[in-house]
Amino acid sequence: MVLRALLLIIACMVAAGAQAQGFPSRPVTLVVPYSPGTGVDLAARAIAERLAERWHQPVVVENRVGASGNIGAEAVARAAPTGHVLLVAANTFTITPAFARSLPYDPVADFAPVARLVTAGYALALNPAQPMQDLAGLLARARAEPGRLAYASPGSGTAMHLAMELLKLRLGVDMLHVPYKGMAGAITDVVSGQVPITFLPLGPLLPQASAGRLRLLAVTGPARLAALPGVPTFREQGAAFMDEVDAWYGLLAPARTPPAVIARIHADSVAVLEEPALRVTLARQHLAIDTATPEAFAALIRADLARWARVVSEAHVSAD
């Protein structure tokens, strides 16, 4: 009996190794549930090119847009669990469930996390005519004028909207949310002075800040950015919890994908991210290499799902 069990274990290990060695046996599809040209799409295409070279198989980026990312996510959840169809998820993957009455998939049970790949920082920015010089000054103004100090977001229910609602909850301030249909409108109206404040990814803010049309008060992350040494972090200003809202992009496979295949994709993804040319490409998009193991990525997803559900509930946020 013991010998039979041992032989079964060995057979399973050999089979798992063969699965990993045989992967990929055909083209791999990276499903991006957002439009071409977005940050997650550009990152996916840069990584796909390097993986194709490594795997000697085409790696195709397929944009499956719609329903706040649910169409693309459902397609991957229903795909065969072989590792040949993967989801390139962003942190919005953990926000959508907080608003959905029902989802066509379970964000935990229907996916196998493979790897977090990169992160993108956010910044709190304001029109330079505003007198606030730091986070403390902004909070003092908000407390003096509850509900009157407005901030622009790229839309209700977005990561940026929820991040500001988290800041309001944790620091006990009341500010007025002004939603836009995308980042461009929010930036335009803060630059023109129609709305005093916004909280957005660094990439679209930096050109305006460099030209003096916006002033950055705080950035997310544990340390100041080399490109912005004069801008303090939220952590330095007593709001370390804002480190938790950095945008992340990562790979998810369908549930029941063999662990050996997951390990192979993870190892190869990390390996290509170490290539200097890819690092330069991603740095131009203001993305930082920040990998995590499948286990750590799974824990991050569960923590984010709980956090944003709590924010939506406590702040009475609507995505409408």
CATH, residue 198: 3.40.190.10
CA 206 – CA 186 distance, rounded (Å): 14
Range of the domain at 170: 122-244
Residue 32 domain flag = yes
Of 226, 244, 262, the last residue of a domain is 244
For residue 2, is pLDDT > 70? no
Long-range contacts of 275-282 (CB under 8 A, 24+ apart): 275/50, 278/46, 278/47, 278/50, 281/46, 282/43, 282/46, 282/118
Same domain, 115 and 179: no
Region 212-225: what's the mean pLDDT? Answer: 93
pLDDT bin (cut points 50, 70, 90) of residue 12 is very low
Q: Identify the CATH number of the domain in which residue 253 sits.
A: 3.40.190.150
Q: Residue 157 in 3-state DSSP?
A: coil
* Average model confidence (pLDDT) across the chain: 92
**Which amino acid is it at 278?**
L
**Number of folded domains that form the chain:** 2
**Confidence grade of residue 7 (pLDDT, cut at 50, 70, 90):** very low
Q: Is the pLDDT of residue 5 over 90?
A: no
Share of the chain above pLDDT 70, in %: 93
Among residues 169, 194, 170, 188, which one has the least CA distance to residue 316?
Answer: 169
Edge to edge, what strands does the sheet with 59-63 contain?
Answer: 59-63, 28-32, 85-90, 247-254, 111-120, 287-292
Confidence (pTM): 0.88
